[in-house]
């Protein structure tokens, strides 16, 4: 796929991965609609990218935010070529220690909001000769990991939604893809997560690496899902057929994990 002059909606644009994706797409000549809840961070990002993109401060978990996004996208005569659902939250906690409203907000942001954004923009995407939806998931959307039960639940759901929607749209002009980074060095991970990953020797990619892999993935036409990193790709496959082997591996790490919770 060529990105030059393609109009792309990117949610969560001001975050670590989001800003790296925005830069990579801008460098490729894309026209970006950048959304975030943080106005100052959006403006700063757009300034760094030359100021030629379109910013929308909106909470896409609300109907008002969705309406603002649709209204902005309708202003583009050439239409919307791609939607990248990247906005996300995480929480490293035992389930019993997470407040109910935090659970609700995390699931709404990571799962319900991408569903509603897809639904809201579907008429505009279907109007194109060819359009794409890319949902940014996680390795933890395929492997349940202690301390991330709510996050895993939301990303497992996003993966299932992506698969079902892809099949639902197979007879249309809209293709759906699922892209799953592994641990990434961004502010979504608190210090405890970073220290735990170091002790467990878990690789954390830089956001720029994730963005470059996404661009490479989107250039290809053969893959519908992408899992970033080794041995994470292997663990995803093993977990799908022999989850008890992954259980044993994680159990050996459980005491270490719980020290950081």
Kindly list the catalytic residues: 151
Q: Are 159 and 114 in contact (CB under 8 A)?
A: no
Strands 225-227 and 54-57: unpaired
Sheet holding 54-57, edge to edge: 54-57, 31-36, 7-10, 82-85, 131-136, 174-180, 225-227
Q: Is the peptide bond before 155 cis (omega within 30 degrees of 0)?
A: no
Tokens of 91: 């929480």
* Max Cα distance, the chain (Å): 56
For the chain, report the end-to-end CA distance as a whole number of angstroms: 42
Cα separation values, 8 from 22, 26, 33, Å: 10, 10, 6
Q: Which residues contact 178 (CB under 8 A, 6 or more apart)?
A: 134, 135, 137, 141, 158, 159, 162, 163, 224, 225, 226
Q: Are 178 and 137 in contact (CB under 8 A)?
A: yes
Tokens of 138: 């996680």
Residue 205, classed as helix, strand or coil, is: strand
């Amino acid at each position: 796929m060529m990105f030059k002059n393609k109009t792309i909606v990117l949610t969560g644009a001001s975050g670590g991965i989001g800003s790296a994706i925005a830069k990579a797409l801008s460098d490729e000549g894309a026209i970006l609609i950048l959304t975030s809840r943080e106005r100052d961070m959006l403006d700063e990002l757009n300034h760094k990218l030359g100021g030629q993109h379109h910013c929308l401060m909106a909470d896409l978990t609300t109907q008002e935010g969705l309406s603002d996004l649709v209204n902005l996208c309708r202003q583009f005569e050439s239409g919307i070529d791609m939607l990248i659902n990247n906005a996300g939250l995480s929480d490293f906690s035992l389930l019993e220690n997470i407040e109910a409203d935090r659970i609700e907000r995390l699931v709404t942001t990571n799962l319900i909001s991408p569903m509603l954004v897809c639904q809201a923009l579907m008429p505009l995407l279907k109007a194109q000769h060819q359009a794409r939806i890319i949902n940014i998931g996680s390795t933890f959307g395929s492997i349940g990991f202690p301390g991330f039960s709510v996050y895993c639940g939301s990303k497992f759901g996003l993966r299932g939604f992506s698969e079902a929607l892809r099949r639902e749209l197979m007879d249309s002009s809209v293709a759906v893809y699922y892209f799953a980074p592994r641990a990434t060095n961004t502010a979504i991970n608190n210090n405890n997560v970073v220290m735990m990953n170091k002790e467990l020797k878990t690789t954390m990619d830089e956001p720029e690496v994730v963005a470059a892999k996404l661009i490479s993935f989107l250039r290809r036409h053969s893959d519908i899902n992408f899992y970033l990193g080794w041995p994470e790709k292997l663990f995803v496959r093993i977990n799908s057929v022999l989850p008890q082997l992954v259980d044993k591996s994680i159990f050996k790490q459980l005491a270490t994990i719980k020290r950081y919770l």
